[in-house]
A and B are shown apart, each in its own frame.
Chain A
C-alpha cells in the first residue's frame, strides 16, 4: 500500500492527458480541465513547505548564533514584512497587493517595485559581465570543435550589431549560421531530447522511474 498507492495514482493521473489528446469527448475534456485546475491549487499549497523550511533553518541559525547569523535576521525580517503585507492583502488590509483605488501603490506593491525588482534586475544584469569573462576564457581555438564554436560565436556577435551589418556578407553569414547549421543542430537536440523526455515520462507513468518519490528504483 505505502509503495503502491503513490505509483498507482501517478499512473492514473498520467494517462489522463494521454487520452485527452486523442479524445474530443466533453467528459474527457472536462476531466482534463479539472485536473489542470486542481494541480494549480496543489502547487500553490507547496510554497508553504519552503517557507517552513526557511523559517526553521534561519531561526536555528540565530538561536545558535552561527557565523553570519545577523543575515538570517535580515532574511526573516524581509520575509515577515513582505509576506505579512502579501498575506494580509487577501483580506484587503493595507489595500491589497496591487494599487489603492486612487492609483498609488500599496506597501506590498511599493516593496515589490523598489526592493524586489531592483535586486532581481541587477542580479540578472551581472550576466553581461560573466559572459565577457567566460568568452575570454573559453573561446580559444584549441581544436576543430572549439574553433568552430569560437568562429560562429564571433560571427553572430559581430553580425547582430549595426557595425557588423555594415560589413558586406557579415549579416548574410550570420543569418545563414542561425538558419542552417544552428537550426539543424537545435532541431537535432530538440528531437533527441524530446524522445528522451518522452521515454523518461513513460518510465515515470509506468512506475519504473520512481526515485523522486523516495521509493528507490527498479522492480
Chain B
C-alpha cells in the first residue's frame, strides 16, 4: 500500500491535472494550498538559510569581522519604512542600492561577458576549407543581419530593410528549432510525473488491493 505521503502527492497531482479539462474546485483547492505552502516554504528557507547563518550567526559568532552586516540588516528593515507614511520615501534607498549594484553587475557582465566574447567568436575566416567556409559565411551573415534587424534609429528601408528581413528569417528558424528542442524537456517532466503516479502510487495500490 502506498504511504500517506504518496497518497497526498498523488491526490494533489491529479487535482492539478484536472485543470486541463476545466477549472474546478479540486484545482482551486490545490492552487490555493500551493500558493500558501510555497510562501511558507520560503519563509523557512530564507530565515534558516540566509538570515540566520549570514546575518544573525555571523554577527553573534564573530562581531569584529562582520560588524558591517548591521548595515545590511538596517537596509533590509528600511524596506518596511513604506508602511510608515512620514518616512515612506526612505524605503526607496535600499531598493535603489539593490537595483544599482546589480545593474552595475549587469552592465559589466553584458559587455565583458556577452557582447565582446560573442562578437569575437563571430569573427570567422571566410576562407576556411570546404563547406566550413559556407557555414562561416552563414554565421557571419546571420549574426550581422539579426543585429541589423534591431537597428532602431533608422527606418528599415533599402539595404537595411533587406538585411533586417534576412535577420528575421534567421530568427524564425532559430525559434522553430528552440521550440522543437524544448518539446523534449517538457515531455520529460510529464514522464517524471506519470512515473510517480504509475510506479509509486498506482502499482503498489493495485498490488495491495488485489
CB of B12 within 8 A of chain A? Answer: yes
For residue A86, CB closer than 8 A to chain B, the reply is: yes
Q: B5 contacts the other chain (Cβ, under 8 Å)?
A: yes
Partner of B118, one of A76, A116, A190, A196: A190
Select the residue from B76, B92, B144, B189 with max chain A CB neighbours within 10 A: B92
A12 in contact with B28 (CB, 8 Å): no
Total interface residues on B, CB under 8 Å, equals 112
- Contact call A41/B173, Cβ cutoff below 8 A: no
Which A1-32 residues sit within 8 Å CB-CB of chain B?
A: 2, 5-7, 9-18, 21
* A46 in contact with B68 (CB, 8 Å): no
- Report if A167 contacts B (CB, 8 A): no
CA distance A15 to B179 in the complex (A): 38
What's the nearest-Cβ distance from chain B to residue A124, in Å?
5
The answer to whether A153 and B177 touch across the interface, beta carbons within 8 angstroms, is yes
Expressed in whole angstroms, the minimum distance between the Cβ of A56 and any Cβ of chain B is 11
Which of A7, A51, A183, A215 has the largest count of B CB atoms less than 10 A from its CB?
A183
B→A interface (CB under 8 Å): 4-6, 8-10, 12-13, 16-17, 19-20, 28-48, 50-52, 54-55, 68-69, 71-73, 75-77, 79-80, 89, 92-108, 110-112, 114-115, 118-119, 121-122, 135, 138-139, 141-147, 149-150, 167-184, 186-187, 189-190, 192-193, 196
Contact A190 B114 (CB under 8 A): yes
Chain B: CB-nearest residue to A49: B79
Interchain CB contact (< 8 A) of A188 among B39, B46, B146: B146
B192 touches A148 (CB 8 A): no
Size class of A's contact patch? 35 or more
* Alpha-carbon gap, A37 to B72, bound state (A): 8
In the complex, which residues 109-138 of chain A have their Cβ closer than 8 Å to any Cβ of chain B? Answer: 110-129, 131, 135
Do most interface residues of chain A lie in helix, strand or loop, or is the interface mixed?
helix
Bound state CA distance, A126 and B173, in angstroms? 25
Cα of A197 to Cα of B12 in the assembled complex, Å: 40
Instruction: Give the shortest distance, in Å, between A211 (CB) and chain B (any CB).
Output: 11
Q: Give the residue of A38, A97, A128, A135 whose beta carbon is less than 8 angstroms from that of B48.
A: A97
**Distance to closest chain A CB from B41 (angstroms):** 6
Which residues of A are found within 8 Å of B97, using beta-carbon distances?
9-10, 12-13, 39, 42
A27 to B66, CA, bound (A): 16
Can you list 20 A-B contacts with CB-CB less than 8 angstroms, sorted by A residue number? Answer: A13-B98, A13-B101, A14-B100, A41-B69, A72-B32, A78-B35, A90-B52, A97-B48, A148-B169, A183-B139, A185-B174, A188-B146, A190-B114, A195-B110, A201-B103, A201-B110, A204-B99, A205-B100, A205-B104, A215-B92
> CB-nearest residue of chain B relative to A68?
B28
Chain B residues with Cβ under 8 A from A74's Cβ? Answer: 29, 32-33, 36
Give A204 to B102 CA distance when docked, in angstroms: 11
